[in-house]
Every structure is written in structure tokens, then in C-alpha cells.
Amino acid sequence: MESDFNSEYPSIDHLREKARKRMPGFAFDYLEGGCNSNINRQRNTDEIRAVQLRPYYIGDYAGADQRTELFGEIYAAPFGIAPIGLQGLMWPRSCEILAEAAAANNIPFCLSTVGTASIEQIAQITGGRAWFQLYHPVEDTLRDKLIARAADAGLPVLVILADTPTFGYRPKEIRNGLSIPPRMTLRNIGQMLTHPAWCAGQLAAGKPEFATMKPYIPKGLDMKHLGLFMNKTFSGRLNEDRIKALRDLWKGKLVVKGIVTEEDAEKVIALGADGLIASNHGGRQLDAGQSTIRPMTHLAKKYGDRITVMLDSGIRTGPDIACGLASGAQFTFLGRSFMYGVAALGKKGGLHTIFMLKRQLQQVMEQLACARVTDFPNHLIQEETSR
């Protein structure tokens, strides 16, 4: 709705700048960080912006329709909210705020296993329409319990993660000693006390916790042991046996996130996945990796009729979404952008960010004379994107 829009913050850059001022440094560093030297994070956005689109000016045009069909659902726009861990640490109640905004706007919200609201809370907020992203547990019993909870809550899509076989090397996180709750170094305490809106929000919301994982975390663990417990509980590396077992267990749609090569695409298609997200975790895992837009046209052309091909990493604007769709993605996700929105504007940040992105995308569609989301590939300038 127009009333959701705050004209002081007409871009993600404006929201990011405001968020940087309102968040304690350790929380902003966690949100912002790529890995190593942040090269892959930057490359994602730079290379989306190297894509160019062709407008058709002469002719009649009935208007733009952003509605997008995905896995049998009609969503109001071709973008959704990517799973983010520790959301409530970055901004109080941000996990719930974004789920509410997604539900109000009929776009998908994906909850992370290490999010700060539970599967059941998010299912309630979204009327059972959220997606759930599973970090693969070491123990099959925990895997089965989490999947059963997502199924009982009626969630339609399970997302499993291919791109975190190991922890990303993130220098700022290492220096800040990031954990939940944050490590009480003098520096971290100083940063909290100098950010009163964040502090007040945390006091009102209560200590952030891994709400989905809470039943399985031994009571009374101190910070160091909580970190060790989480490390021991999840094993990031996916293999074919694990995907096969998940495919057998999960009756809903199965999406593998983090697929950027033909080799992996072939495997997940053969194992019966319904969708893949070409993602590199927003550049948080492999600094020497490709941008995700680079393999997109090829993956979409080769596999788009066998599996739903989606895209994330580096998207910050309506034109970025348009370039992803023109390159063949059937849907897109944004991670940091939504968190900047909530950290900047609190409760209203989710609604504002969704409205703003839809408005930016609408302008691009009208400018191009692109009537439907599925028409975007007709506007791709091939010379610029053949890779």
C-alpha cells in the first residue's frame, strides 16, 4: 500500500545507511559481511548490473502484472524473503516483522533453522504459507523431528542448503566473537549502549534465541557451549544419500539452495528436487566464486523446463530483480535488503521495503513494455549476457 511507503527512504542504500546508524556495530557487521575480502558479495551486484534490457516503445500496452505462479501458488510479486539466521539479534523481532509483511503482501517468507522465531510461530503468522530452510542435522532423528514439525505446520516448501559445507571465513565476525546472546566484551557492551532503539527493542522483545531449536538445546548452556552444541548438531555438507532421504520424507515441494553448476543441477534434478536457487549465500562462503547471475541464463535455458530455477545474492533494486528474471530466473529472493529495511524503520520496515521494490519493478516493466513477469526474457540484450 502507498501508505506503507516512507519517501525519506526510497532505496535500499538509504535504508542501509539508516540501519548502519541504528544497529550496534557487531550486528551490522554480521548482516553486511561477505567473507574474506567481500569480493564475491560485491561481484554479485556488479554483474547483475552489467545485464542490459531492451525497451519496446512503439505500440499499445495494457499494463504490468507482477503476479507470479510458483509451485502452484500465485504470489503478488516475483520476489521473496530469503532465510536469514539470528535475525532477532540484528533487530528485535525482525523475523516476525518480516513474516507479517510477507503474509500481508502475499510473497513467500523463508524461515531459517537458526532463525529467532519458531516454525510454529511463523506458520501462524503466515497462515501456513511460509517456507522452511533446513540446515542438515548430523542426527537423522533431529532431521525427522524438524521435518515433521514443518509438515504439521502445513508449510508447502522445504529448502535445503548446498552452499555451506563449511563455515565462511568472515574476519569481522571472528573479531566480534558473534554469538547469541552477543559476547559481553567491553566493545560489544559499548556498542549496545550507544544504540538505544536497538536496546529498548531487545528489552521489550526479550533475549533473542534459536526458537526452532529450543526444544533440543540442553538447558542452562553458557554461550561458549551453545556455540559448540550448534556446531556439533549440524553438518553442512549435502550428499546424494541425504537429499534422497529428504526427498522420500518430505511430501511438499523440495528446493535446493546454493546450486550454481551444471554438475550439481543434474544431480538435484535426478534426485527429484522441484526447485533450485542459484545462490552463493550472498557472497558469504566463497570469495573466489562466480556471481550467481553469471550461470543463470545457461542454467535456466538448459534446466528451466525440468526444475524451477530461482536466483538470489546481490539483488538490491527493482532493476536488479528485472535483470535476474530477464536472465531466466523464474523467481528471486533478497536477504540483506529486507533486514536493512527493518533495522532502519522497525515494525514498518518490512512493508516499506516490499512496497518500494514492487514500485521500482513496476516502473521497469512499464518502461520496457513488459506485461507479465514471464515476458522479461524477451527484453534481455543477449550480447551483454551471453557468458
Ligand X SMILES: Cc1cc2nc3c(=O)[nH]c(=O)nc-3n(C[C@H](O)[C@H](O)[C@H](O)COP(=O)(O)O)c2cc1C
Positions in the binding site for ligand X (CB under 6 A):
30-31, 44, 82-85, 112, 114, 133, 161, 257, 279, 281-282, 284, 312-315, 334-337
CA 84 to CA 110: how far, in whole Å?
Answer: 8
Q: Cβ closer to ligand X: 4 or 312?
A: 312
Closest contact distance (angstroms) between CB of 313 and ligand X is 4
Backbone angles phi, psi at 109, to 5 degrees: -115, 130
Q: Which residues are catalytic?
A: 281
* 70 DSSP β-pair partners: 73
For 29, the grid coordinates are 557487521
Closest contact distance (angstroms) between CB of 166 and ligand X is 14
- Please report, to the nearest 10 degrees, the dihedral formed by the alpha carbons of residues 66, 255, 315, 111 taken in order: 90
Q: Cβ closer to ligand X: 195 or 316?
A: 316
Closest contact distance (angstroms) between CB of 371 and ligand X is 27
- Whether the link from the prior residue into 10 is cis, omega within 30° of 0, is no
Q: Which of 118, 114, 163 is nearest to 134 (CA)?
A: 114
Number of neighbouring beta carbons within 10 Å of residue 274: 17
Closest contact distance (angstroms) between CB of 62 and ligand X is 32
CA 178 to CA 126: how far, in whole Å?
Answer: 30
Closest contact distance (angstroms) between CB of 378 and ligand X is 26
Q: Cβ closer to ligand X: 41 or 129?
A: 41
Output DSSP code: residue 1: -
Q: Cβ closer to ligand X: 82 or 155?
A: 82
Cβ(284)–Cβ(41) under 8 Å?
yes
Q: Which of 237, 175, 226, 155 is nearest to 30 (CA)?
A: 175
Q: Which residue is nearest to ligand X (CB)?
A: 335
Q: Is the dihedral of CA 350, 258, 33, 173 positive or negative?
A: positive
Q: Which of 355, 358, 360 is nearest to 101 (CA)?
A: 355
Closest contact distance (angstroms) between CB of 366 and ligand X is 25
Q: Cβ closer to ligand X: 82 or 98?
A: 82
Task: Identify the three-state secondary structure at position 38.
Answer: coil
Where does the chain have alpha helices with state H?
A: 12-22, 25-32, 39-48, 87-90, 94-105, 119-126, 140-152, 171-176, 186-193, 196-205, 223-233, 240-249, 262-270, 296-303, 318-326, 336-345, 349-368, 382-385
Residue that the C-alpha cell 558479495 belongs to: 41
Q: Cβ closer to ligand X: 64 or 118?
A: 118
Q: Cβ closer to ligand X: 87 or 297?
A: 87
Task: Identify the three-state secondary structure at position 118.
Answer: coil
Closest contact distance (angstroms) between CB of 33 and ligand X is 7
Cβ(101)–Cβ(358) under 8 Å?
no
